Structure 1
Amino acid sequence: METTLTIPAEFPADTPAVPAGQLVTVRVPATSANLGPGYDSLGLALSLHDTLTVETLASGGLEFELRGEGADTLPRDASHLVVKAVTEALHRLGFRHEGLRITADNVNPHGRGLGSSASAVVAAVTAANALVPPASRRTKDWVLQLTSEMEGHPDNVAPAIFGGLALSWQDSDQYSSTCATVAGSVIPVVAVPDFELSTEAARALLPASIGHHAAAMNSGRAALLIHALTHDPAFLLPGTEDYLHQSYRAQAMRPSAGLIAALRHAGHAAVVSGAGPTVLVLANGEAEARTIVDFIDAYAADNTPEVAWRVMKLAVDVEGAKVEVHRQ
């Protein structure tokens, strides 16, 4: 569909336009944040990828093709998150566009705790950065700043940008992240239910403060989790124990909370993925990963027949957002 896009008033009318005919494709991974005790600080990139193609047009307007997840519900106009993020990123870079042709192939389920909005803004900002002339392009750290600002925190955008295990923090309005290499035997398994939960609704369930003892317990588990993920996966179960958020959110996703409890009782490192309701299980090796898939299938059949679960054995994405510039 065609939509006229307007440049915000705060940007000068003489802002240069990106030349028509620029075409880039960005492949961006889904992510799982928190990983149990790493609330708003740890994130893992997963081998489940959305693909975004952006082409600049010579005349005003928007052509938007959307396939896959969200195709029946998301807008195809200037209100779409991708359009807003591309436009804003170009403005931050000192450019505007005359028009856009966007194609989004979405695989990442929306509203399930796998960082779909983070993937969208990372893909959009990365594409915008690739559309401008080489001399005006910025680093991935700039992409981290802008996308963290858009999302409000860096835990999902950082692994989507850099890949692997991202450890992120914030000083005032400055966002930072560093990446760690995940042990090769760690295999993420996700169980995605057929119901959604918004991040805002999940955050609203959290208390304003917690006790010093719980904070101390959580910091110890977060430190252990980093060791488990990078060096010794034998510690994944105790390392994923959380004292900050999961118990408070359980009431909003009882099927997920029940599945997590059953998996942990059986000795598997299960957590809420992001704000939920997807369940993430960190397996140590192929044998445990297969056992986890079978366990989830059996548990779901016996305990949550009203919920359809999509169970996927994935891998850790080590590349993050990848850009192809097709034409300049």
Structure 2
Amino acid sequence: MRLRVTVPASTANIGSGFDTFGMALGLYDVVEVDVTESGLKVEVIDAGAGDMSGVPTDENHLVVRALRTACRHLDVHVPGLHLRCHNAIPHSRGLGSSAAAAVAGIAAGYALAGKALDDTALQLAAGFEGHADNAAASLSGGFVIAWQADDRFHAERLEPHSAIRPVVAVPATRSSTKETRGLLPDSVPLADAAFSAGRTALAVHAITARPELLLAATDDRLHQGYRAPAYPATARLVRELRERGVAAAVSGAGPTVLALTTTGILPQGVGVDEFDVSELAVDLTGVQVEARSQ
């Protein structure tokens, strides 16, 4: 069996929707999977300007780990594997590269079992990170609301408004989700919690029906301010864009800046010299698997 798995990047949080909102973006990792008679071979082809240095090419590779997890769950025996990972999603930039790798592996395992993706696929993929926002977006595409209850991950997919044209500004520097989470306080003032609750509710309406409300809807007092010292250039660009009326936020744990525009461009005069700026479509389909005999 030979598989070709195409999985989209994702942005998460989107303002105050911390560990809750995710959106799939039109930037893709492609994993080619060949089932072989024995052994494991992992090739990494980097389209992300050197981001793959230090990425394991053995059983510790995240796609391999996720694929093995799915195969164990589905009782599928795979004698050997040859993986070719064509990576376009930059690592440690807040664009869901780890979730995409987990989703690619889970989707490959399901395809080898001849089964359609189901709710358990979300449990397996989200389990690698401990939250479901990025994984759910890469699985289903579109805009997702994710939550956790009774030790299970849940996600609801919604259709984003067709006028939304995301722009991402990706810096060369990386960030660590673990480190930036360490900057967050154990509690926030009640006024900030109430503010964030209102903006989170408004964001659902803005993203799905009223994009003209996106600037107000992406305002945040819950997490971005606490993380700002970890990436001052990112915080500065978010501030400049918002001052110019652009609904900008930190993408995931950063340091990428997400701008939800209706034009696909950023205003002139903002400081983007330290960033690689591009428009990305909203991916509406999620992970795709093509299977064929060798």
Provide TM-score, normalisation by structure 1.
0.86
Partner of 1:325: 291
Secondary structure of 1:166's aligned partner? strand
For 2:267 and 2:41, the matched residues in 1 are separated by 41
Of 12, 33, 40, which residue of structure 2 is paired with 1:54? 33
Larger radius of gyration: 1
Higher alpha-carbon deviation: 120-129 or 85-94: 85-94
Deviation at 1:172, TM superposition (A): 2.5
Residue 40 (str. 1) matches residue 19 (str. 2): yes
For 2:127 and 2:120, the matched residues in 1 are separated by 11
Residue 232 (str. 1) matches residue 204 (str. 2): no
The answer on whether the counterparts of 1:46 and 1:316 sit within 8 Å (CA) in structure 2 is yes
For 1:115 and 1:276, the matched residues in 2 are separated by 10
Deviation at 1:96, TM superposition (A): 3.1
For 1:310 and 1:141, the matched residues in 2 are separated by 36
Tell me which amino acid in the other structure corresponds to 2:157: C
Residue 65 (str. 1) matches residue 43 (str. 2): yes
Partner of 1:4: none
The answer on whether the counterparts of 1:42 and 1:166 sit within 8 Å (CA) in structure 2 is yes
Partner of 2:259: 281
Partner of 2:158: 180
Secondary structure of 2:272's aligned partner? helix
The 5 A counterparts of 1:106-125 are 106-125=87-106
Deviation at 1:327, TM superposition (A): 1.8
Higher alpha-carbon deviation: 62-71 or 192-201: 62-71
The answer on whether the counterparts of 2:107 and 2:117 sit within 8 Å (CA) in structure 1 is no
For 2:221 and 2:119, the matched residues in 1 are separated by 31
Question: Structure 2: which 5+ residue stretches go unaligned?
Answer: none
The 5 A counterparts of 1:172-321 are 172-284=150-262, 286=263, 289-290=264-265, 292=266, 294-296=268-270, 299-301=271-273, 307=274, 309-321=275-287
For 1:143 and 1:189, the matched residues in 2 are separated by 29
Provide TM-score, normalisation by structure 2.
0.96
Deviation at 1:64, TM superposition (A): 1.3
For 2:70 and 2:125, the matched residues in 1 are separated by 9
Deviations 1:288-314 (Å, cap 9, x if unpaired)?
x32x16444xx134xxxxx3x111111
RMSD: 1.3
Deviation at 1:123, TM superposition (A): 0.5
Between the aligned residues of both structures, percent identity stands at 42
Deviation at 1:139, TM superposition (A): 3.1
Moved segments of 4+, more than 6 Å: none
Of 57, 67, 89, which residue of structure 2 is paired with 1:76? 57
The 5 A counterparts of 1:7-22 are 22=1
Deviation at 1:95, TM superposition (A): 2.4
The answer on whether the counterparts of 1:293 and 1:311 sit within 8 Å (CA) in structure 2 is no
Q: Alignment length, in residue pairs?
A: 291
